[in-house]
Chains A and B, each alone.
Chain A
Amino acid sequence: MLGSNLKILVIDEDPGRAAVLEGALVEAGYTHSVTLRTNSNLHQRIMALEPDVVIIDLQNPDRDTLESMFQVSRAVQKPIAMFVDQSDDDSIRRAVNAGVSAYVVDGLKKDRVKPVVELAVSRFESFSRIVRERDEARTALAERKTIDKAKGLLMDRRQISEDEAYRMMRQTAMQQSRRLFDIAESIITAFELDAQLFGGADHG
């Protein structure tokens, strides 16, 4: 398979993402890939491995250390340059948005490196989509709980039905053009404050 003998080093602090990318690389036939999670012994590891391609998160602070090693020829045999296909604006933009940076051994042919970078970009993209969806789901769940709690407080204190409590909150939200969740938070705060100021006992 083309490029399968490339030695690829993945440096990523996020173990989940690193695992996703490593799996994808092996599946694509890049069996010589190695993943590092931290900067411990970065120097020795790189010297021992002599990678052809290094994939690292654009925001990773270790990049500066890595770049300085590449500039010192003693540490790395072959000079390494940042890989950017300047003829291809779209792929630069995609890589930057996905947070991928790649370094390759000088002189390595573009068509051998590009599939690796593209693979990394697509895995970074799908990983951040999964994380985003997970976070959104968590937020939605937390909001749901807050709304239910506010509804319960209203039902209890005002002796009204669930439907009435919900309608009351909906109506207030619409009148004030605020989110239902914000109204729910205000209700909870108001009840808590009330309990603190006037003593919770009277109010149940």
Chain B
Amino acid sequence: MVSLVKPMVRAGFVALTDCAPLVVARELGFDERAGVQIEPVRLPSWSAMRDHIAFEKLECAHMLGGLSLAMHLGLSGVKTEMVVPLLMGRGGNSITISKSVHEKALEAKGGSYIGNRANSASLIAPIVEGRKEKGLPPLRFATVHAFSSHNYELRAWLAHGGIDPDKDVQLTVVPPPAMVGAMMKGEIDGYCVGEPWSQLAVEAGIGCIVATKADLFPQSPEKVLAFRRAWVSGHGDEAAAVVDAVAGAMTWASVPGNHEDLAYMLSRSEYLGVDQDVILHGLMCMPRLTPGQDRMPIRHYMSFDGPGFAYPQQSSALWLLAQMRRWGQAPAGLEEYAGKLCDPSLIEKNVRYSVESKFRKDVGPGDNAFDGINFDGENIEDYWRSFPIGGALKAS
């Protein structure tokens, strides 16, 4: 008798809507058809995820692109050589400010804000300034990890509004599932987090979404499928099967007709434990931005399918490294090693992928960036130094 038991691969995830490809791969059997069994393991925070990977309690994970690079470079936790054979989609993050700060900000503007979401930090700039003048403690903002796209998005958004994230506000870290609670308790005034934790604050009536990742860096990397390189070296076939299963699940998860089923699947307590409608609105790219107002369509608010959304280009790692350089998290000269993080060799062996739009190679991570600064992977130093805040003004 042929053994029906497929090799088990432990895959970590954090309770976020964009862990969907791993969940779908398991729940709908994409994994077994590809020849492996994916065991999703939920972790409470990103540092726990990092350590579980580094200490070999997991083979791979749904992971922050920035954190996988930081591990790879030895900038966070124990230095661990990593490899990213697949990006897991785009978007999903939003910047939410508390309802009370939002109301104060609108008051100062005469009741309404007219302007695009990418510039909305200008809304809170007078409050930031006012608190400084009065000697009040600065506004507190949270992101999900120091090496997260959320941190880079929040910082870039603040800086674009003339607010220095290192001087004018206080930044802290709160794990995604704890974010809404922290705002409810008044511990933070705003945050940048992935779905469903932005929609949940709006539905709970405590927060307003003022900008989304799609408004800021629509093509920049978000979650990735990250492996410990040492494991991949000894388990090439299993790793390829996981990539195959997750890429197939991404396609399934991006079909609008599947969104209701997907929202239901994710809402279960072992995954997100959040109401399925709240999850669904994000998946449909139809979020509610302000409590009590109508939901509105936002293109690529979050998506598992779009041009180049899955292809692991070296420039994606370099874009992340450039953000680390901009905010003083990484020393110079790491470009070559960083570029090795993204490795398309596994997907290039799979002919099915070459025809799919999400594996297009001609889309850059910095395309359509809201700040208008051109990103060039060949010269990240010039890129980050050209920013007035977090760039030229800082030595090193």
Contacts and interface: CB of A to CB of B under 8 A. Distances in A.
Interface of A: 58-61, 63-65, 67-69, 71-72, 82, 84, 86, 92-93, 96, 101
Contacts of B217: none
Given A82-B77, A84-B78, A96-B57, A65 B51 contact: no
B46 interface: yes
A65 B46 CA distance: 11
Given A64-B173, A67-B146, A93 B55 contact: yes
Contact of B47 (A67, A92, A93, A96): A67
Contact of A86 (B78, B146, B175): B78
Nearest to B144: A64
Interface string B224-267: 00000000000000000000000000000000000000000000
A152 to B, nearest CB: 35
Contact of A61 (B55, B76, B175): B175
Contacts of B172: 65, 68-69
Interface string B161-175: 000000000011111
B28 interface: no
Contacts of A63: 45, 47-48
Contacts of B177: 61
B78 A68 contact: no
Contacts of A58: 48, 51
A96 B57 CA distance: 9
Contacts, number: 49
Contacts of A101: 51
B44 interface: yes
B44 A96 contact: no
Given A64-B145, A96-B57, A82 B78 contact: yes
A72 B44 CA distance: 23
Interface string B33-60: 0000000000111111001100101000
A68 B51 contact: no
20 contacts: A58-B51, A59-B44, A61-B45, A61-B48, A63-B45, A63-B47, A64-B144, A64-B145, A64-B173, A64-B175, A65-B173, A65-B174, A67-B173, A68-B145, A68-B171, A68-B172, A71-B146, A82-B78, A96-B51, A96-B57
A64 B78 contact: no
B178 interface: yes
B146 A92 contact: no
B146 A61 contact: no
Contacts of B52: 96
B274 to A, nearest CB: 17
A108 to B, nearest CB: 17
Nearest to B329: A71
A60 B45 CA distance: 8
Given A84-B78, A86-B78, A64 B47 contact: yes
Contact of A64 (B46, B57, B171): B46
B170 to A, nearest CB: 9
A59 B174 contact: no
Nearest to B79: A86
A63 B46 CA distance: 9
Nearest to A57: B48
Contacts of B77: 82
A109 to B, nearest CB: 19
A93 B146 CA distance: 26
